[in-house]
Structure 1
Amino acid sequence: MAPNASADAIILATADGILQVRTTATPEGGKANEAVLRLLAAALGQPVSALELLRGSTGRNKIVRVI
């Protein structure tokens, strides 16, 4: 994840399922995490409630599960 980016985007997908997500949100108060989940949910056509942040709430690398 790259917070404070110039635009929200999912810019890279690798064969092993790793995505690079950029968000304009700041990392303060969990705002960037929420923005990443909203962006992923929209890309997957799922509600945000279908995604769960498993690991990485305070770091740049995150593990998200689609329920």
Structure 2
Amino acid sequence: MNWYCLDSNSHLVLKLHVQPGARRTEAVGLHGGELKIKLDSPPVDGKANDQLLKFLAKRFAVPLKQVVLKRGAQSRHKIVEIHHTACAPEILLTDLRAH
């Protein structure tokens, strides 16, 4: 399976490997079939999850309520669903091209 797909409701589903506590928030590349995203928030009290959802909402130009953590709240391996976005998942890879 790719690191993203469309589900039966046409929602974008992302498979992510998240690394909290980094120097900055950015997508850094593929990691074992998932897209690796570094977050500059610590993994304390859900702060990293909150930052991840805000980062994805901004990147996909959707309200925060349309970005849903489906699986992995306590794990580095997460499944996130994005509702009603017109952006392609490759928008996350623009971080990689900037370096």
Runs of 4+ in 1 over 6 A off after TM superposition: none
Unaligned runs of 5+ in 2: 1-17, 84-99
1:58 aligned residue (61, 74, 82): 74
- Secondary structure of the structure 1 residue equivalent to 2:21: coil
Range 40-49 or range 28-37, more displaced: 40-49
d(CA) in 2 for partners of 1:26, 1:20:
16
CA RMSD of aligned residues (A): 1.6
TM-score under structure 1 normalisation? 0.86
How does the TM-score come out when normalised to structure 2? Answer: 0.60
The answer to whether structure 1 residue 49 and structure 2 residue 65 are counterparts is yes
Shift in Å at residue 13 of structure 1? Answer: 5.2
Greater CA deviation, 52-61 or 38-47?
A: 38-47
Alignment of 1:1-67 (within 5 A): 1-12=18-29, 18-67=34-83
Aligned residues: 65
Cα offset, 1:58, TM superposition: 0.1
Q: Which has the higher strand share?
A: 2
